[in-house]
Structure 1
């Protein structure tokens, strides 16, 4: 165990990844301002749907988020060049975690991965070469690192890809109908729009997605297939970047290759002046047992969390319970309509409630299909009406369809959602059971 975890290896892959990762999170921060994401998601909306239990983060929402993201970008630059590296990464990790937890309407698995990597990188010795810190303080400079550093990064990536592959093993993905649905909204793309509508392209996307996610890490681990895996990875992620426009994630994924190629190759291509470490020392730190315990708990959590939906009643594609934080990437398309009614408890008057004035466009789409956000909207409405001196019950009638199937009722319209308690670990009974044919496509003439 000591030799497996604490053998010293060359650290060139880590320091190069630090520079690339720092650049990407810098682009993410400043890009969110430039593209209007901050304005649409965190400034213009009256409030955001935060992760339940993190309501205090609502205090950050508003025009100050422009400065917030600018500060994040500055710390991203510091991480890139390795200046005050640990402080910079910890600050960025804290700030990005707050952004992630304060809104769900723009939920993205890639944002979750970025949060995890920010925290992991904050505690790794990624600044001990090719950095301002190492230049200013030569005492910390070293060409090596313990092997556990490399192993945890590879294992984290492997978990992500494996769960992404396994999650695709369901009928609407296997028959390529989900791929067809994803491509339907891309007919307008210049040059490739018509090509993306071809049936063979849909089948290729469906099964390439499964096989790539399942096999890319083993391909990169084996020396004989490493170059093939890297070429396939570049094509796969550039295709995703062009077609799905998912920000920095494809480029971050390409950068993961730095953990697989040999130090000799990386040194020759990128840092020819770096000392090549070949010592193979085994240095066991005095915090060995604590480190092993922390890593065991962390990875048990990472492996277990994506499985939690199996412990909820009904299908996660229908209920959404256990969907987030589970690497279920682009697996389903949901649309719906929501009608909200409030009943004044003092007068007994039932009236339709215009909730759309409270929400931005993306929030309206989210609340129509996601039960936890419906519950949060009910709590918000109750609070707003209480400020007006009214005690109201809130009822919701939601009709939802999955993957362009038929519309079905999602919520029990007789339940006052404002009076319900939310549980992270048990099924919400006011979510109606999924119909047996809920993913059956409607008849067409």
Structure 2
């Protein structure tokens, strides 16, 4: 029964169109970084980047290397769009994008992580089976159908993303409008809409529309009676996010996902991509069906587990950041911090107050003042810097943070040598103080 459900073939128009839109968007993401100055600000100007812990070996290429890197990524995006050497070009883009994602987290964005996941998904599916140069050059891969699991996979992935994003908003500072007010305060100079964004009713709309949209968008797109009005709401919602928050390709990628919710007849009527569509409904079970099902189960166990892991780590994730990344906690809080780093020579007792601005960019200074993992990494790098000069030192950090412009509270135990401390990937790091502990 489950084989019939997963491997029944349906028309592949949605998948083919999505590949084209996806290719265009990843091209714009790569080449857009060239023209907006993002590469220079984030990867080239800083002396060092703050990688995901364990990936310090990934560092920006010297000179103008990152410009060439992103230009090449854009070329691979064009190849994906055209469906030319699709597997090879998308594999290359996926590796390059994942390396950049792991290379820096000062400009962390959940959407970058989502793009990694979608790249992996697109590598699994025959998205070049039609309207592609590959299909034109090789009749063996040409097809107008795809297994049903392709649609089910993307719908379930989106359900996880949106549901966790909705649940994360159920906390006091979101529900009382504090977060919405803070987010909109920085937009007051926007032309035409800046004043409107400061209104109380706008904040209330953002609060509840944000929760309800994330919670209901997938179910209501699945239901025929609500699909069209929900899509109209989605267009408004994502365009609002694009204009106000300027979050790159994600709003448009989200709209492209809607293709997987509409019936074949509607897609063919709107896009007219070919004269015929598939309606035979054959069930073609591949020889590796068991392995595929094991992969699907493993994938979704991980996708459900990662965003919920912070509930099993002691402390509030808003304060500690432990379990924040890879968890679809998007635009939920404003955070600022104050930190001082002291280096103490273990042999002489001499103490040096570190001038952070000599090592870090402005954005990195904010990161190192509020994010415990970056604080730990900077302390580790200071220790290595002094060790290279033959000094054995301890690094002590006094950091205080404010969440959603609340009172500053102590974040780090300033008596702990972070130069010698180990990072705990899975549980609470005891040197990160919890509000109730002081």
Fold conserved between structures, TM > 0.5: yes
User: More displaced, 239-248 or 381-390?
Assistant: 381-390
Residue deviations 1:343-364, cap 9 Å, x none? 0112101121112211111111
* 1:196 paired residue number: 197
Alpha-carbon deviation of 1:123?
A: 1.6
Any idea what SS the aligned residue of 2:182 has? helix
Q: State the Cα RMSD in Å.
A: 1.2
The residue aligned with 2:268 is 267
Q: Which residue of 1 aligns with 2:107?
A: 106
Matched, 1:49 2:50: yes
Q: Are the aligned partners of 1:408 and 1:435 in contact in 2 as well (CA < 8 Å)? A: no
Superposed, which structure 2 residues align to 1:14-413 within 5 Å?
14-58=15-59, 60=61, 63-413=64-414
Moved more, 230-239 or 378-387: 378-387
Distance 2:271 2:234 in 1: 20
Following superposition, the deviation at residue 33 of structure 1 comes to: 1.1
For residues 273 and 286 of structure 2, what CA distance do their matches in structure 1 show? 30
C-alpha deviations, 1:188-231, integer Å up to 9, x for none?
A: 10111111000010010011000000000011000111000100
Q: Is the 8 A contact 2:341 2:398 kept in 1?
A: yes
What SS is found at the alignment partner of 2:348?
coil
Question: Could you say if the C-alpha distance between residues 328 and 62 of structure 1 is closer, same or farther in structure 2, counting changes exceeding 3 Å?
Answer: farther
- CA offsets 1:164-188 (integer angstroms, 9 cap, x no match): 0000000001111110110011111
Is residue 51–residue 101 contact of structure 1 (8 Å, CA) maintained in 2?
Answer: yes
Q: Is the 8 A contact 1:187 1:193 kept in 2?
A: yes
Q: CA deviation at 1:269?
A: 1.4
State the match for 1:443 in structure 2.
Answer: none
Q: Residue 60 of structure 2 contacts residue 66 of structure 2 at CA under 8 Å; is this kept in 1? A: no
CA shift for structure 1 position 59: 6.0
Contact preservation (8 Å) 2:98, 2:116: yes
Distance in 1, matches of 2:363 and 2:385, equals: 21
Secondary structure of the residue aligned to 1:47 is coil
* Alpha-carbon separation, structure 1, partners of 2:359 and 2:63: 15
Structure 1: gaps of 5 or more residues: 439-445
- Compared with structure 1, are the counterparts of its residues 274 and 375 closer, same or farther at alpha carbon in structure 2 (3 Å cutoff)? farther
- CA distance change for structure 1 residues 61 and 378 in 2, over 3 Å: closer, same or farther? farther
Question: Size of the alignment, in residue pairs?
Answer: 437
Query: 1:274, 1:47 → 2: CA distance?
Result: 54
Q: CA deviation at 1:60?
A: 3.8
- Which blocks of at least 5 consecutive residues in structure 2 are unaligned? none
Deviations 1:121-169 (A, max 9, x none): 0121000011111111122111000000111011111110000000000
